[in-house]
Chains A and B, each alone.
Chain A
Amino acid sequence: MNQQFGEASKTVQRLASAVEALNQRAEILQVPPLKSYEWHETLRQKLVPQLGDHAFLVVAVVGGTNIGKSVIFNHLAGCSASSVSPLASGTKHPVCLVPPGFDQKSDLNNVFTDFTLEAWSDANRALAETDIDYLFWKTSDSTPANLLILDTPDIDSDAPVNWDRADKIRRSADVLIAVLTQQKYNDAAVKQFFRKAAAEDKAILVVFNQCEFPEDEEYWPLWLEKFCSETEVVPELVYLAPRDKLAAKENRLPFQQRDWPSGSAELDRSPHDLMRDLSQMHFSEIKLRSLRGSLRSLLDEQQGVPKWLNVLSVRAGLYRSATEQLATNKLAGREQWPPIPNPLLVKVIRAWWRERREGWSRSVHEFYNTVSDSILWPFQKMKQSFQAPPEPPFDAYRQREWSAILETVETIFERLEFMSHTDNQVLAERLGKLLDGKSRAELLRLLENAHTNIDFERELQELVSVEMQRFEQESPHSHHFLKKLDQLSAMVRPATSVGLFMLGVGPAGDMAAQAFGNAALGAVVHVTGDVVGGTAVAVGGDAVLGSATHKIAGEIEIWFRKLHALFVAKRVTWLLEQLQQHLWGTFLEDLSSGAELTESPEYLAIATILEELRPQLAALDESEESDSSAPAPSTESGVVHP
């Protein structure tokens, strides 16, 4: 049996650390803290400390406020270890009687992990109101060697901290001495407490205190029957104690045992010594029972770890659906993104081309461009003085792109609003923070700042240079064709420039010449640009290109279209980055990591451990059956009473 305990103990230790690991990951899911789960507290307070080291039995006196718990405890202690007061809710901290030599075998700190342990010095210390959960321990010679006996705070007064401490002791305990009275045996708080204890399979001794003899003799079986049917407690032993203030004060309250459930006629009125009765209990059997009970509640589908896993997976599902709703590629629409105007694109391509002209063609073009620029300079000046300064070429585009950004942001906010209104109460708080007016204004401000600082020309230039080089490599034919065309135009350049100028067209003529000089490339690009834009078919397109070059034109067109798409993609990416930085922060990552929780190794590990633990519990169940049929080993039950 010890071996089985050992195995289960190891598994439980692993489970405890796996739960901690998963819990850290699960923090993102905003589930209730582990502390609020009964199974977790049982795991920490009962199974982890006691599965490995089960050489002692924890006995706790529990019950409602002001019904004489401390009186009964003092009876066990044989002295006034716990203070008794006529006022309710007196005991605030548990007091523990420790057998001599206990600290050589086990460490009390490991048994009561959630308490601050202090050596007992004075009965009144347990009455002090503090936030720290103290446990006062006192070595008592009258305590059997492997018993720990505790007095606990109440479970029903207006001080919830008392209930909490009583609950902690309840989980650690193997044996509960349930103190009941005529007034309290059917109270909701009392019933709830003992129902949990019964579910954990604790051994329970019932003491009806403050009985009035002889009339209560007829009532106590009724009370007990009600109590047992409501809580499913099966008491091991039942005692009655009379209402006798003086006896209670002098610590000589007589406890009379009653038979239950037979309620038999055997009326042994001689007072029992509870401590003696306790020491004669089958320790190992009780210990095994309570450990198994705790293990069973740990594995319970409705209340145990599986339930927690289920809660996590439901929550993760919620996050998954939120992630799907907020899939960013759906939100930032490429469709409504404005394309860069063709003239701007063409201009940038031309500038790039000009840079890359080589040799003869380069010098011819450059010479004529310089000449025409200097001739045209005064005319341009004049034109400028007449008209308002021209708008920077990219400003109109910037404006349109800003509209697209605003539309995207609006869509996102609409989606978030919808989410915060419908499901997802969990995310409501974070969503509320994203959606509040101040953060919206701040987001718009940041986006606008970033947006006005963008140099579109440079962005476009970068894209063009990268893509032109790729174009050169991928479609050498088309590139070669363009180059030839350009050289051809350089060849005819003197004729066109000089000819037009001589004809008296003057500056206008030169403009035309220059236009023609750049026309070769320009025309090709324009034609494709127009095709892409779908606005019009360039009138001279076919004439310039010739029918033989259709294939090349097609290639260029595809490339041109790609350029547009690439630019839009670049801009959308920019927006997504900005949104990530200024709007989402860690929100989307949190969502997706929450959504993936159920596939995480931590989650799967716990499921595996649970699978291991189930057969181990079954083995313990079997061993108990065989154990109970065998006589109790004398070493473990019954310790010499001084």
Chain B
Amino acid sequence: MKLPLPPQIRVIERGWLSANNILFHEGTEATLVDSGYLTHADQTLALVERALEGHRLVRLINTHSHSDHIGGNAALRRAHGCRILVPEGMAPAVADWDEDALLLSSAHQQAEPFAFDATIAPGDALEMGGIRWQALAVPGHDMHALAYYAPAERILISGDALWQDGFGVMFAELHGDPSGLPAQRRTLEMLRELDVGVVIPGHGAPFADYQAAVARALARLAAFEQSPERMAKSAMKALFTFTLLEKRRMPRAGIGDYFGRVAIFRDVSKNFFHQEPAAVAALVIDELIRAGVLIEQDGDLLARGH
């Protein structure tokens, strides 16, 4: 169903490897929110070029620092000379290009370093597409993430803090920081009080059933709070699916070793499953194949669809 968004907002709905891109026409200029994954950068440039419809891209704004949201930043800046604004909490990691803090090295993901021109703090007001937006702190999936909320138009750009069915992986918890789940709870309880007509999420189609989505997210969070193992298994499945979308295909026989080599898979196997990485890999692969997310072809694993 097509939702009633103002005509100056163009949502470029991507898949899971790349986050959605949201383009705002502003007179002869334009602003973009989030830029997709590095290996999609050429596709992102082409999609943005088309959606610009002759407008000049002058600003790129990120919701948070993860690789599927910042991977096109450098390429877009090269192509358009746009200014880049990032949430203030992620600025030090980007400035120092700290691949651990950006979760690149620990998850075996890629991004290209980029320069930014300014930062956005929680509570800041900004204008995009002639609409007034408030930057809201939405820690949890990413402890420094921002959402952008337009109270008059009742639109929420939620990033990965809230999807139609769930929210992004709890990275802080997976890395041994117990503040992730409580932060996500505070975030969802704050979001629940907002008056929202349409959500533009970081992944998936824009949606309207706001309170139902918040309720689903809170139910999932409660399940994670009761069972860290469940949270960890859900995260391993999501992260390995992302890995396969990025690598395209991997020999099934090598996945056990891969889980032993890549920090997040190795550490979560040890700290949440109390098992060898190879055993966790086997469990994750079995469940993803049974769910129809992965298929095996000539000894290789592939992600189905996009």
The answer to whether A and B belong to the same complex is no
